[in-house]
Chain A
C-alpha cells in the first residue's frame, strides 16, 4: 500500500514541479538572456503571472474555426502532462512506471506537436499554416535524431524503460563519461533546442512574420486557450530539460519512499534543470537564429551524432 501512496504522490509532485517549474525555467532563460545583453529583464516569475492573467481573459474564436481550435490546447496540455507523469523525474517509480517507456514519451510529445499544428491550421490563415508547416518540418527532422539518441542510451541496459535506464546508470557511474553517452548527449542537446523552439532554431520572443515558427501557430489563440498553449509549451521545456538532466546525471532522484528523499529529489531536479536552462540561454545569447533552410544541416548533424552514438555503443560493449 505504501508503494502505491509513494508512487501516486511522487507522480503528483512531478506534475506540479514541472507544471510550475516549466514556466519558471522559461522566465529564468529570459532573465539570463536579458542580463547577458545588459538589460535588467522581467522577473523570473513573469511567465507565471502572464499565465494567470491570460487565464481570466475572454476567449475569442475566429469565424471559421472548428471545435479543433478549442480541443488542440487541451490535447497539448494533456499529452505533455501524461508524458511528465510517466517519466521518472522526481522518483524512479512513478505511478505508470511500467509504461514509462521512452518511446511512449517521444510519441506523446509528437502527439502534442501534431495537435499544435492542427490548431494552427484550423482557422485557415496564412500565418497558422506557415507556422504549422515549419514546426512540423523541424519536428520531422528532429524526430530521427531523438529516437536514435534514445536507442543509444537504452543500449547498455537493453531496455527502453526509463526507470531501468536510470537505475543502470546509478549502478554504473562510469557509463556517464563513455563516448557513446557523450555523443548521445550532444545529439539530444540539438534535439531539445529544436523541440523547445529556442535560438538558433526558432526565436520564442519574435513576432516577425518571416521568422516565427511556434508563435505563428498560436496567433489565433486568446485568453485561457492561449494560456493553455503557452503552459503546454513551457511544460514541454521543463520535461525535456529534466529528461536530459536525469538521463545523464540521475543522482539525486528518489528511489525509495521517504519524505527526505523526495525533497532532495525535487531540489536536485530544480538545480539540474536550472543548469541546463543556463546552458541553453547562453547558447541562445551566443548564436544567431539560423535561416530555415540551414536548419536541416544542424538537425542532420544531430542525427549523425546519434547514429555514431549507437555505433560506438555497439563497438565498445
Chain B
C-alpha cells in the first residue's frame, strides 16, 4: 500500500510539474515522473498479485464527509496492473509525441491526472473515493479530447457526445451505489458487501441494472457505445491508448466489483444481460472495424469487439458460479481478466503506432496510406505483432486468452440449467463470428496501410517516429508475446483476482508455462508451438535460399501487359472491405452518393464525377438521433414560455408557490 501511495504521490508531482514548469522542461520532467509513478504502481500491483496481503489506507482529512479510503486487493491490483503498464508506456511516448497544444501546461497536467486517476479508480474502496476518482478520470479525459480541437474540428462534437454519455453513466452508477448503501447507511465497500444480503432482491436487481448501465457505457458496450468511436479517435494518441485500453477496463472492473464483490452475484438473469451486451458488442464492433477506414476509428471499434468478448466471459462466470460449476466460473472470469490485460497491451501499442503514423504521414485514413513498411519499419513491426495478437495468432496473447474463454464455454455446456447453456452458446457464437472478421480488419490495416505503394504525398514522405515513441510501442509489444508464450507463469496472479471476486474454489490450473487444465482436460503449450514454428520457418527459409540465387531479381509487377501501373490502381481499404460491406449491408446500411456533372454542350460527356460513401452507426442514427431530436424540440417548445416579460415570470413564480402550497 505504501508503494501505491508513493506512486499516486509521484503522479500528483507529475501533474504539478506539468502545470508549473517552463516549456523547455515541462514535457520531459512530467513524463519521467509519470512513468516512474506508473512503474511503482506496477510493483505495488505485482506484490499483491504474488500473494501479498490485502492492505488498506484511510484518511479522514482529505475528502470531506467520508475521507479517502483505498484498498489494494488482488482484483484491484489486476486492474492497476492494466492501467499502470499502459500508463508507463503512454508517459514515455509523451516525451516524443507531445508538442503544440498537447505540450501546453493544462494539457500536460491533465494528462498526468488522467493517467493516475486510472490507477486510483480500482484502488478506491468507498463510494465517495470511487466517484471522485471516476469523475476525475471522466473529466480529465474529456478535456484531453479537446486539446486538438483547433486542428480536428470533429473533436468538439466528440467531446459533447462523450461528456453527455459519461455524465449520464456516472449519475446512473452513483444512483445504483446509493441505493445499495442506503440500506446499511454505510458507504465503505466492505460494509456494503456485508449488508447486501439484507437487501430485497428487487432493490439489488435495480441497483445492479443502474450500475451496469453506467459501467457498460464506459466499457463501450453496444448500444451505449456511440461516444466511443467518436471520442477515442479524437483524442491525442497517447490519450486514445489510455482510453481504449485502460479506461474501458474500468467499466469491466466496475461490473465485476459491484456485481460480484458487493452484491455477491445476484441471479442468473443479470449475467444473461451482461453476456447479451457482450455478444452484441463483439459482433457489432467487429463488423464496423472491418469497414472503417480511419485507422483510429477502426481500432476503437475493435475495442468494442474485444470488450464484448470480455463481457461474455464475465457473464459466463456469473451464470456458472451458482449453477454448481465454480471451477468453470473461475476459468471464465480468468479468461476475461487475461483478455483485459492482453487487450490493454496490444491495443495500447496499436494506438500509439497509429499516433506515430498520423504524426508522420499527416493522415490516418487508410485510403491515403500505403507502403509505410519501407519508411517506418519499426512501427510496422509493432503493428504486425499487435495485429497478430488481436487476430489470435497462436503464441501471441490474444490466442491464449481466447482459448481459455472457449474452454470455459465448452465446459460450461455441462451445466444443467437451460439459461446457463444458452449463455455458453451465445458466447461461443460471438467468439466464432468475430474471429474471421477481426482477421479481415487487421489484414486490411497491415496490407493497405503498410504494404503496397503510397497512396498520397504524405505517406510517401513519412518517416520513422522518434526514439521515445518507438521505445514505448516496443515495450507494449513485450506483454503481447509474453502472455502468448507463457500465460501460465501469471496464472496464479489472475486466479487470486478471480478468487477475490467469486470466492474460493478448487484451482482449475496445473502449474506450467502454458495453460494446463488437468482436472477439466485441455492444455496448450504455446512455447513448444513457438519453437516448432521458428524451427520450421528457419528450415524452410534455408532450403529455399540454397537452391536459387541469393537475391531475387527485381522486375516490374505483373500488369496484364499494361505498362506503368500507378498507385491509384491498387485496392484501397474501401475496396478491400467492400465484399463484406455488401454481405452485411442489412446491418451496416452503407450510404453512397454519386454526383455527375455533365458538360454543358452535351449530356454524353461528363465534366466531373464525385462519389461519396459512408457508414453511419445504426444505433446512433436510429436510436440516439430521434431522442436528441425530441429533446431539442422540447427545448424549443419550452422557449416559448420565456418571452422576456417580467409580468409573466412573476406569474410563473406565483403559480409555482400556489402549486407547492397545494401539494404540500
Contact = CB atoms under 8 A, between A and B. Distances in A.
A14 interface: no
Contact of B549 (A59, A82, A129, A296): A59
Interface in B425-447: 425, 428-429, 431-433, 435-437, 439-440, 442-444, 446-447
Contacts of A314: 413, 421, 425
Contacts of B579: 133-134, 137, 292-293
A75 B388 CA distance: 13
Nearest to B583: A296
A43 to B, nearest CB: 24
Contact of A110 (B410, B439, B536): B439
Contact of A117 (B443, B516, B548): B443
A310 interface: yes
Interface string B528-551: 110011001100110010011100
Interface stretch (A2-10, A34-42, A146-154): A146-154
Given A126-B569, A144-B429, A58 B554 contact: no
B30 to A, nearest CB: 38
B552 A70 contact: yes
Nearest to B442: A114
Interface in A124-178: 124-130, 132-134, 136-137, 139-148, 151, 154-155, 157-161, 164
| Residue in B520, B523, B559, B567 with the greatest tally of chain A CB atoms within 10 Å | B523
A161 B525 CA distance: 12
B394 interface: yes
Contacts of B322: none
Contact of A136 (B410, B443, B520, B570): B443
Given A61-B553, A110-B391, A118-B446, A144 B435 contact: yes
Given A60-B553, A122-B451, A132-B571, A98 B525 contact: yes
A68 B451 contact: yes
Interface residues of B, number: 84
B575 A129 contact: yes
Contacts of A155: 410, 413
Given A68-B451, A74-B541, A124 B557 contact: yes
Nearest to B569: A126
B443 A118 contact: yes
A56 B435 contact: no
Contacts of A73: 544
Contacts of B529: 82, 86, 96, 99, 104
A126 B435 contact: no
B439 A159 contact: no
Contacts of B439: 110, 113-114, 136, 139-140, 143
Contacts of A78: 533, 536-537, 540
A101 B290 CA distance: 28
Give the interface SS of chain A, mostly helix, strand, loop or mixed. Answer: helix
A124 B567 contact: yes
A143 B557 contact: no
B553 A148 contact: no
B359 interface: no
A290 interface: no
Given A114-B443, A137-B440, A63 B544 contact: no
Contacts of B428: 147-148, 151, 310
A288 interface: no
Contact of A60 (B442, B524, B552): B552
A109 to B, nearest CB: 10
Nearest to B437: A140
A108 interface: yes
A133 B558 contact: no
Nearest to A132: B447
A107 B399 contact: yes
Nearest to A155: B413
Nearest to A136: B440
Contacts of A228: 540, 544
A223 interface: yes
Contacts of A220: 557-558
Interface string A81-101: 110011000000000101101
A155 B406 CA distance: 12
| Residue in B391, B453, B536 with the greatest tally of chain A CB atoms within 10 Å | B536
Interface magnitude class on chain A:
35 or more
A66 interface: yes
A79 B529 CA distance: 10
Contacts of A132: 443, 447, 571, 576
Nearest to B578: A133
Contacts of A125: 557-559, 565, 569-570
A96 B525 contact: yes
A134 B529 CA distance: 29
A108 B526 CA distance: 12
Interface stretch (B112-120, B295-303, B342-350, B368-376): B368-376
Contacts of B522: 101, 159-161
A111 B290 CA distance: 17
A151 to B, nearest CB: 6
Contacts of A101: 403, 522-524
B321 to A, nearest CB: 19
A121 interface: yes
Contact of A225 (B516, B524, B533, B544): B544
B393 interface: yes
Interface string B372-398: 011000000000000010011110000
A158 B371 contact: no
A155 B547 CA distance: 47
A219 interface: yes
Nearest to A70: B552
B410 A123 contact: no
Interface in A16-72: 55-64, 66-68, 70
Contacts of B621: none
A114 B290 CA distance: 14
A249 interface: no
A311 interface: yes
Contacts of B393: 107, 110-111, 114
B108 interface: no
A307 interface: yes
A160 B440 contact: no
A59 B570 contact: no
A40 B582 CA distance: 41
Contacts of B525: 96, 98-99
Nearest to A296: B583
B371 A64 contact: yes
A311 B426 CA distance: 12
B537 A126 contact: no
Given A75-B537, A82-B529, A113-B439, A141 B583 contact: yes
B571 A126 contact: yes
Nearest to B286: A140
Contacts of B432: 143-148, 151
Nearest to B290: A140
Given A144-B433, A151-B410, A159-B521, A61 B555 contact: yes
20 contacts: A58-B549, A60-B552, A64-B453, A70-B552, A77-B536, A104-B394, A107-B394, A108-B394, A110-B391, A118-B447, A121-B443, A121-B447, A122-B451, A124-B452, A125-B565, A129-B447, A133-B578, A146-B432, A157-B521, A310-B428
Given A66-B451, A82-B533, 13 more contacts: A58-B548, A63-B554, A98-B516, A121-B447, A129-B576, A136-B440, A136-B444, A137-B440, A139-B436, A148-B429, A159-B522, A160-B522, A225-B544
The 7 closest A-B pairs by CB, nearest first: A129-B571, A124-B452, A143-B436, A140-B436, A121-B447, A62-B557, A147-B432
Interface of A: 55-64, 66-68, 70, 73-75, 77-79, 81-82, 85-86, 96, 98-99, 101, 103-104, 107-108, 110-111, 113-114, 117-118, 120-130, 132-134, 136-137, 139-148, 151, 154-155, 157-161, 164, 209, 219-220, 223-225, 227-228, 292-293, 296, 307, 310-311, 314
